[in-house]
Amino acid sequence: MHLQDAEAQETEAVDTDAVVAQAEANAEPVKEPTEAELMAELEAAMKTKDFKQVAAVSRKLDTAVKAQEKAVLENKRLLLDSIGEDVKAAISKAVKPLVDSGKLDVADGIWYSYDFGEQAPVVRLMKTAPRAARAGTGGGGGKKFDIGTDELLVKHGTKEYKDGLTFQQAYESSTDKNWRYAIRQKLLKLEGII
């Protein structure tokens, strides 16, 4: 008898995906409470001094308000995106005669900005220039001199720096970049470069 029951169950295999899909189709969508309903629920929780309920409803209310603000912002963005192509086409149409005339041949581009809070639009004609080659291997942006610290130490290394130390001794006493920079500056002054 048990063997027949097992065989019967195998032949009547249930399609669980179909059952779940049917259940989801039959289910009523969960209705989100309105802002007014949440406010009424919040007021009721405050009257009863149920602060856990106040906190829970406040979170729901905050979520609802943020969702509403997000939807409004998204609608504004979609509207602006649809108008953006029209604005771009109008500006391109206005600039095209100037580009075609050759008046803008010295420029690499045009930067146009119109902030509605400002009194006038801003137009900049841009010319890109290659970056100047940088001397040295350091990442600093300071002045570069033709003479290195080692050369300065050969010339002035035996002179007293401070506290009885020579420039050479002071330079070798620490690898701190700020310490060594201060020594280099003194050496440059001794050399008369700065």
User: How do residues 2-38 score in pLDDT, each as one tens digit?
Assistant: 555 555 555 556 677 777 777 676 766 667 788 888 8
Contact (CB, 8 A) for 94 and 85:
no
Cα–Cα dist 88/103, whole Å: 21
Percent of the chain with pLDDT over 70: 77
**Residue 137 predicted with pLDDT over 60:** no
Encoded tokens for 138: 């350091």
| pLDDT value, residue 73 | 92
Question: Based on the number of CB atoms within 10 Å of its own CB, is 170 exposed (0-12), middle (13-18) or buried (19 or more)?
Answer: buried
Q: Where are the alpha helices (DSSP H) in the chain?
A: 2-11, 16-26, 35-47, 51-101, 149-156, 167-173, 177-191
**CA 157 to centroid of chain Cα atoms:** 49
Residue 19 and residue 10: Cα distance in Å, rounded? 17
Q: Is the pLDDT at 1 greater than 80, yes or no?
A: no
Going by their DSSP bridges, the two strands 165-166 and 109-113 should be labelled as unpaired
Other beta carbons within 10 angstroms of residue 101's beta carbon come to 9
**Maximum CA extent, the chain:** 111
